[in-house]
Amino acid sequence: MDEKQGKRDIVGAIRRLVELAMPDLRHYYRMTKKAKVVAVYESSGEYFCDVQPLRNDESADPKEPVVPRVALPVLWGGPDRGVVCPPVTGALCDLSYYDGDPNYPFISNIRWGGGMSAPKAALNEFVIQLENGVEIRIDQEKRVVTLTPQEVRTEAGKNWTVKAGQGATVEARTVIVKGAQSVTLEAPNIYQNGNVTTGGHGGGSGNSIQNGDLTINGNLKVNGNTTTTGTSHAGSRSGGSCPH
């Protein structure tokens, strides 16, 4: 027996001894594995997944059972704070174990793949997307874009301030501005383009007060009585009598 054959026999003997002592080393020490989320659920304010380990080619491994109640990675933790975005069933992930102990699994990373692609984004763009058409995006021009086919609602317990360095535009088929007590418009010049209809609270008749001069460039039609307090000057002809 030559020297190489002797070394092979020694290595083989050691391997057999290890197999007798620990038939499956995977039960004692585990490395990070590819895996797939098969269930997602909430329990006592925490979120967990059931995870199916995969082979490196991401095919199912029938020898590996589903690992239940696996902890999800946490972003920005603290009392009642953090970002909650549990993965969907079928998402790919990386399954790891604290100190390699199979009794303490956790998801160390969520990966795209398996038919689930990343949101479309250019380089230097930031995107948070729930699904196609529902997203918050900071684009390459540093503009913040929010897309949704449903309603957008913001609430403030006290004051709410929107400040723009230049122009601000609100565009919609119908725009309603409500104030529980009052609405104030402030500007050196306020322009109204279009027909204006005024009414009282609740849609009834109300009063309109103008503090300052009023100039009307065009015809004036009054459906109702007119009361003038002060001196009136007429610089045009009247089509009818003016009782004194």
**Does any domain span residue 138?**
yes
- Backbone φ, ψ for residue 177 (5° rounding): -115, 120
Regarding whether 42 and 86 lie in a shared domain, the answer is yes
88, 111, 134 - which closes a domain: 111
Q: How confident is the model at residue 21 (pLDDT cuts 50, 70, 90)?
A: low
Residue type, 242: C
- Backbone φ, ψ for residue 47 (5° rounding): -115, 135
Dihedral sign from CA coordinates of 176, 181, 185, 186: negative
CATH number of the domain that 43 lies in?
A: 2.40.50.230
Regarding whether 35 and 77 lie in a shared domain, the answer is yes
pLDDT at 3: 67
**Does any domain span residue 164?**
no
Mean pLDDT of 57-73: 91
Output the six-digit token pair for 23: 């038939």
Going by DSSP bridges, is the β-strand pair 126-131/144-147 parallel, antiparallel, or unpaired? unpaired
- Other residues' Cβ atoms within 10 Å of the Cβ of residue 107: 21
Q: How many domains does the chain have?
A: 2
Burial state string for 207-226 with b = 16 or more CB within 10 A and e = fewer than 16: eeeeeeeeeeeeeeeeeeee
Statement: residue 240 has pLDDT above 70: no
**Does any domain span residue 238?**
no
For residue 50, give the nearest of 1, 9, 95, 12 by alpha carbon.
95
Q: pLDDT tens for residues 157-215? A: 999 999 999 999 999 999 999 888 899 999 999 998 998 888 887 777 788 888 888 88
Regarding whether 49 and 123 lie in a shared domain, the answer is no
Cα separation, 96 vs 77, in Å, equals 20
Regarding whether 103 and 43 lie in a shared domain, the answer is yes
pLDDT at 23: 54
**Does any domain span residue 89?**
yes
Regarding whether 130 and 61 lie in a shared domain, the answer is no
Statement: residue 22 has pLDDT above 70: no
- Other residues' Cβ atoms within 10 Å of the Cβ of residue 97: 18
Regarding whether 88 and 41 lie in a shared domain, the answer is yes
**Does any domain span residue 203?**
no
Burial of 36 (C-beta count, 10 Å sphere; 0-12/13-18/19+): buried
**Does any domain span residue 223?**
no
Regarding whether 134 and 102 lie in a shared domain, the answer is no
Structural domain span for residue 84: 25-111
Regarding whether 127 and 98 lie in a shared domain, the answer is no
Statement: residue 243 has pLDDT above 70: no
Beta bridge partners of 135: 129, 147
- Other residues' Cβ atoms within 10 Å of the Cβ of residue 164: 7
102, 132, 151 - which closes a domain: 151
Q: pLDDT tens for residues 130-168? A: 999 999 999 999 999 998 999 989 999 999 999 999 999
| Arithmetic mean of pLDDT over the chain | 86
For residue 69, give the nearest of 109, 101, 42, 98 by alpha carbon.
42
Structure pTM?
0.65
**Does any domain span residue 104?**
yes
pLDDT at 241: 61
Range scoring the smallest mean pLDDT among 37-46, 144-153, 227-236: 227-236
- The percentage of residues in the chain with a pLDDT greater than 70, rounded to a whole number, is 89
**Does any domain span residue 55?**
yes
Asked if 98 and 104 touch (Cβ cutoff 8 Å), the reply is yes
Regarding whether 39 and 102 lie in a shared domain, the answer is yes
Regarding whether 125 and 107 lie in a shared domain, the answer is no
Q: pLDDT tens for residues 98-123? A: 988 888 999 999 999 888 889 999 99
111, 138, 168 - which closes a domain: 111
Asked if 99 and 133 touch (Cβ cutoff 8 Å), the reply is no
Output the six-digit token pair for 129: 């997307």
Statement: residue 78 has pLDDT above 90: no
Regarding whether 137 and 101 lie in a shared domain, the answer is no
